[in-house]
Amino acid sequence: MLPFLLTAADHNLTKAAEADCDPAYPDVCIPSPPPDLDCGDITHRNFTVTGDDPHGFDGDSDGMGCEAR
C-alpha cells in the first residue's frame, strides 16, 4: 500500500508543477512570465509554440521556438 501512496503523492506533485506551464509551449514545461525568459535561459530547443508567445521564443513566427542553428 505504501508504494501506491508514494505514487499518488508523486502524481500530485507532477500535476502541481504542470499547472505552472505556459500553454503557449505544449511540448515543454516553461512557466509563464514573470520573469521574461530568453532562449539562453532554457535548455529546450526546437519546440512547438502556439498562440501567444509571451517569452518571444518564436522570433520568426513559424511555430517553432528556440530553433537550433
**Nearest CA to 65 among 40, 51, 48, 41?**
48
Does the residue 48 lie in any domain? Answer: yes
Does the residue 45 lie in any domain? Answer: yes
Task: Answer yes or no: is pLDDT of 9 > 70.
Answer: no
Does the residue 16 lie in any domain? Answer: no
Does the residue 6 lie in any domain? Answer: no
What is the pLDDT averaged over residues 2-30?
65
Does the residue 67 lie in any domain? Answer: yes
Task: Answer yes or no: is pLDDT of 13 > 70.
Answer: no
Supply the pLDDT for residue 19.
67
Parent domain of 53: 21-69
Instruction: Please indicate, yes or no, whether the overall pTM of this predicted structure exceeds 0.75.
Output: no
What's the total number of domains in the chain?
1
CA distances (Å), origin 63, targets 2, 4, 42: 44, 40, 17
pLDDT, tens only, 22-54: 999 999 999 999 999 999 999 999 999 999 999
3-state helix/strand/coil string of 6-33: HHHHHHHHHHHHHCCECCCCCCCCCECC
Does the residue 7 lie in any domain? Answer: no
Task: Answer yes or no: is pLDDT of 8 > 90.
Answer: no
